[in-house]
Every structure is written in structure tokens, then in C-alpha cells.
Amino acid sequence: MSAKKNLVAATMLAGTVTALSFMSAGTAQAQGALVMYCGVQEEWCRAMTTAFERETGIKVSMTRKSAGEVYAQVKAEAANPRADIWWGGTGDPHMQAAEEGITDEYKSPKMGELQDWAVRQWEQSKGRTVGIYSGALGFGYNTELAQSNKIGEPKCWADLLKPELKDEVQVADPNSSGTAYTLLATIVQIMGEDKGFEYLKALHKNVNQYTKSGAAPAKAMALGETTAGIAFMHDIVTMVVDKAPVKVVAPCEGTGYEIGSMSIIKGAKNLDNAKKFYDWALTADAQKLGAEAKSYQVPSNKSTPVPPQAPKLADIKLINFDFAKYGSSAERKRLLSKWDNEVKNLP
Ligand code: PLP
């Protein structure tokens, strides 16, 4: 089949899948269904879907999207919500949605089992989003390409500006990706806004592609498509576990981190099932599925074992990330539009 026909067939198929999931959402209440927007890696999203269906008999219609994309979709659908639960992805768009009132308050009976940082996220959002995992931002490099491109061993954010890395750094677009928005907010907090934007403009010269999803640069590094990539350290660890020639770096200047979050959509048609999922997703057993799906974040339930592969937060120079400020609607909109105007459109 030609590439064009392939595209047409794929588009028709996508239309059919959307129509089917729309029908199932419409008849959802009677059959016991749940519509979930999922913000982590596809493998973990699928593992959560299957396990919850098996445990409860509730049929889950799941769509995986990056953090900023889920936010945009939830906002666009606010008058007639299609989804019930938004599980995973960085906390900033969950916080923004909370402030804008498009997600709902809920206090789970499981709150007492959670780490303080997860509860703080819930308190700061006035009960509209809760922390489900945490992980630090960093970068990585393909050791074979680093050797052939003679870039040495990058250790600091500053090293990513070296001329030897021209067109050899990959990172996502912060409008779609929570990972890349975490980078934007991290650099501004470490360097101050003026110097931070100077840094991002200089970095732009070395960027070969702004991807849609935050984990794509980690995969591209593993495949030898880019020498360096900026991503959450746990996403790069997944590549190392799969034996890719990739090294993970915790930047010497310090780095930011995420509180991956979960929210119930305001006006959810399957509200009881959304609460069932919410309570279940906070249990130690459900959170163990992350490591099984090769996602190595730090889980928010105190009884979930921290995967041995997870980057040790205590060994990383973490900044005092201001989640309330950088998750606020005004600040997120302002920084993203400044990045679009001053960085993305540079030649
Ligand atoms: N993958 C994992 C394992 C994550 O923890 C996160 C953030 O929570 C993401 C991906 C973020 O995806 P994106 O940057 O595409 O929004």
C-alpha cells in the first residue's frame, strides 16, 4: 500500500475507534464504564487499564496523550465532558485545571497512606488533584555517539550548549509535553528568568527537534538518532534497563522534578467509577504496576516499594520547585507564550 493510502486507512481506522469509544462512553453508565485520559507511558497506561478492568469488571476506554494535550482536551470538552478521570502526567496542567475549575474536588480514604509531597499537591489544589508519583528531570546521552562526536562526558546543563552538540540535542515542546514544561520552569528557577531564556535560546541552536511527547528524546537516544536528550531521568533509565548504550545525568547545577498527578473531571458521567479508580490507583498494589511496566518513578503510597532502578531523589541536587507558582494558570500561559515567541520561532 502507498504511504498516502496507508495514511487514509489509518485515519479511517482512527475515526472508527473514536466512534466506538464515543458510543461506549454514551452507554457507559448502564454497563459500568470509565473513560480515562492517561498521561504516562503507553505501556503503563495499558497495564493500569487491564488490571482495573480485571479487578472491578468496569470497562475502561483509555486514551494516552501528553500532559499539555490532555489539559487542552479537558478544557475544550468542559461544557460536555467525555472523560471521567485524568491519570498521570506532570502536575502543572492538573494544577492549572484545578484553578480553572474544570476538575473536581475529592478526598480519598487512601489519603493517609500517601507521602507528604503527594498530599501537599492535593492541599495546594484545594482537593482537586493528588500526587501519584515523583521523578527528577535530567538528560542523557548515547555513549557511542558521544565518543564519535567527541563531546566528552556532559555533566551539567551548561554542557548541552557546547558547539560540538549542534543539532544533537532533542527535547519536547513544552506546550504539549509536561516534561518540557518542567524543563522550562526548572531553568527559570535555577538561572532567573532573563538568564534562563538566554540559556534556552542558546540551547535552541543545538536542538534537532522539539518532539510532542516528553519521553520521545529518550527513545531517540537509545536508537542512536540523537546524541543527547532531555527527559525525566526515569524515562532514560527505561532505555538503560533495555540495554541501550545510554548514560543518565543528574545535572550539576541542580534540577527540577515532577509530582505526577491524578484528577477527576468535573461533570464526569461515570463519577462513582472515577472515584473507584482514584481510590484503587492510590493503593500500593496498583502503584506496583509502574515498575512492572518499566516506569521507574517514586510512587506516592508509602507502602509501595520504590523500584531499585528509580533514580534516588536523595542523591540528586533537587531545587525547591515552586509547584503552586509554575502550575498557576497565569504563569503557565505566560511562560509558554514567551517560549513560543522568543525561543521556538528562532531560526
Ligand atoms: N512518561 C513518564 C514515565 C512520566 O512520568 C511523564 C510525566 O509524568 C511523562 C512521560 C510525561 O509525558 P509528556 O512529557 O509527554 O507530557
pLDDT digits (tens, 9 = 90+) for 290-307: 999 999 999 999 999 999
The whole-number pLDDT of residue 347 equals: 85
What pLDDT shows up at residue 2?
38
Q: Which of 179, 184, 210, 323 to mutate to test the pocket of ligand 1 (most atoms within 8 A of CB)?
A: 179
Please give the pLDDT value at position 31. 53
- Ligand 1 neighbourhood includes 256 CB (under 6 angstroms): no
Residue nearest atom 2 in ligand 1 by C-alpha distance: 40
* Cβ of 98 below 6 Å from ligand 1: no
Confidence check: pLDDT of 135 > 60: yes
Q: Is the pLDDT of residue 89 over 80?
A: yes
pLDDT value of position 8: 34
Q: What percent of the chain has pLDDT over 90?
A: 88
State whether the beta carbon of 67 lies less than 6 angstroms from ligand 1.
yes
Question: Would the CB of 38 count as within 6 Å of ligand 1?
Answer: no
Give the pLDDT of residue 3: 36
The yes-or-no answer to whether 3-133+258-305 and 135-257+330-344 have a common fold is yes
Cα-to-centroid distance, 217 and ligand 1 (Å): 12
Q: What spacing in Å lies between the alpha carbon of 31 and ligand 1's midpoint?
A: 31
pLDDT at 33 over 90: yes
Residue in 87, 92, 213 to alter for ligand 1 test, most ligand atoms within 8 A of Cβ: 213
Task: Say whether pLDDT at 317 is over 80.
Answer: yes
pLDDT, tens digit (0-9, with 9 covering 90-100), for 157-199? 999 999 999 999 999 999 999 999 999 999 999 999 999 999 9
* pLDDT at position 287: 98
pLDDT given at position 28:
42
pLDDT tens digits, one per residue of 139-153: 999 999 999 989 999
- CB distance 213 to ligand 1 below 6 Å: yes
Q: Domain segments of the chain: what residues? A: 3-133+258-305, 135-257+330-344
- Chain mean pLDDT for the chain: 92
Over residues 326-335, mean pLDDT = 96
Q: Is 89 in the pocket of ligand 1 (CB under 6 A)?
A: yes
- Residue with CA closest to ligand 1 atom 4: 40
Q: Which percentage of the chain shows pLDDT scores above 70?
A: 91
Confidence category of residue 5, pLDDT binned at 50, 70, 90: very low
CATH number of 3-133+258-305: 3.40.190.10
Residue 345: pLDDT over 90: no
CATH number of 135-257+330-344: 3.40.190.10
> In this structure, what C-alpha cell is assigned to residue 123?
492541599
